[in-house]
Structure 1
């Protein structure tokens, strides 16, 4: 017997959402399933389940495109970009919110407006400027470039969240003798934990899946990221789908594990980060 809280309407919505989830998860299914097949089996029937779990493709891909080095480079870029991004974006957003002026309002407007500019529109001048400042083929160079590309969106996130923090907390800390930097790092920044976790998760997924930026700014083989390394398996005349799908499966696992772990942190951060005013 259906109750007023659960009707046929909700059932139909749930069925539609389940079907939609299946559609979105189907590419992941094909990647994982076909990563255990040889090349001929993938071409003959890509939708079938593998006859046995053969890890040959994973071993060959791991060695052929030097996946350990690519994973290390990707993790290094992701960690340092997030670290620099959180520090500078949170401080910039705090300054813009707590010291409103025409100049700061204009600066925030400029940050927000850059979010609508596609990377392809600034790609050529950015490459030229990177050559002038010797940022090509360096890890710190692409970290600086990524920070410039991502920081406007992160400032936008922090800007809205900081507005919800009562000024009275900061004023009480100042009365107790806390310095401006102490107020931010000891009082404000811990309260930004929910937004910090959210920003880190979003940007980590973005950085992990970057292709065009590393392709332009990291041209040396030893500096290739995971996406560029996988791309080397596709040429003008041959596409090594068996190795590429195995490499994709390996590359997907770390970011999925990271997302699941940080998802719990988001819930915990929101629960413990509430402010009663």
Structure 2
């Protein structure tokens, strides 16, 4: 009993310390976004003495915030929806078709998860640049689907594998097609892992900088690209940059908070078979 209480206390304190470490950068962004530049340079760790919202007003103008927000929302929503549709159907096929093709395909998908984009960036852009229209949001969405389908399928596959095949067989005896079985019976049961897939991919796509900087022009830039405008070659406006970062992360944090319960459930059920 004493060992159990000691273990809980250690877990509590370790968790608390880690939480403070992770929250510290957010604290810096928050407090410095309300400071004038001289206060940030004097003491970036202190609370604002001269409280100001000028940084937010200037950040909105310089970022062209609402246009950048629209681009981020469009790219993220279309990419995540496409990944959910494609990955869920692919995972259902791979989990139900027990043959060599499905096993090899699944192993290739899992193996591709360990290859970083940076290792593929130069040959990837050289291959697709002549085919697809660069500086186009549709091309960027296509790239996100290709790079995100492996992890999304992996999460769905683990969850679907735990759903009894007897449900499929019973529906098939009643005359339901494979399409009907999946969309009317299986997919509604996938809501926890669907929330997980949505959050994981939305966080990645919303915050991604490398792919948009390679594929988008100035008029189509997303919020991460817009926050880069505050940093010059020899100077940076830290107050406006902090305000811009805060404006950029608020929507995705709100999205996560809405789906956090389903996210935790999906991670525990879908990632481990």
TM range (shorter): over 0.9
* d(CA) in 1 for partners of 2:163, 2:4: 38
* d(CA) in 2 for partners of 1:14, 1:265: 24
Correspondences of 1:121-136 after superposition (within 5 Å): 121-136=119-134
Aligned residues: 270
Determine the structure 2 residue equivalent to 1:191. Answer: 189
Unaligned 5+ segments in structure 2 are none
Determine the structure 2 residue equivalent to 1:232. Answer: 229
1:95 to 80, 88, 93: 93
Determine the structure 2 residue equivalent to 1:212. Answer: 210
Structure 1's 163 and 223: CA in aligned 2 closer, same or farther, altered over 3 A? same
Counterpart contact for 2:72–2:223, Cα < 8 Å = yes
Structure 1's 95 and 12: CA in aligned 2 closer, same or farther, altered over 3 A? closer
Give TM-score scaled by structure 1 length. 0.92
2:9 to 8, 11, 22: 11
Give TM-score scaled by structure 2 length. 0.93
Unaligned 5+ segments in structure 1 are none
* d(CA) in 1 for partners of 2:161, 2:171: 18
Deviation track 1:88-109 (CA, whole Å, cap 9, x = no partner) reads: 1111111111112112211111
Structure 1's 156 and 267: CA in aligned 2 closer, same or farther, altered over 3 A? closer
Determine the structure 2 residue equivalent to 1:201. Answer: 199
Determine the structure 1 residue equivalent to 2:47. Answer: 49
Counterpart contact for 1:135–1:142, Cα < 8 Å = no
Structure 1's 12 and 156: CA in aligned 2 closer, same or farther, altered over 3 A? closer
Answer with 102-111 or 147-156: which moved more.
102-111
Deviation track 1:114-145 (CA, whole Å, cap 9, x = no partner) reads: 11111011101221233222231111110000
* d(CA) in 2 for partners of 1:130, 1:54: 46
Q: Runs of 4+ in structure 1 displaced over 2 angstroms?
A: 3-13, 264-270
Correspondences of 1:1-277 after superposition (within 5 Å): 7-218=5-216, 220-266=217-263
* Structure 1 residue 12: Cα displacement: 3.5
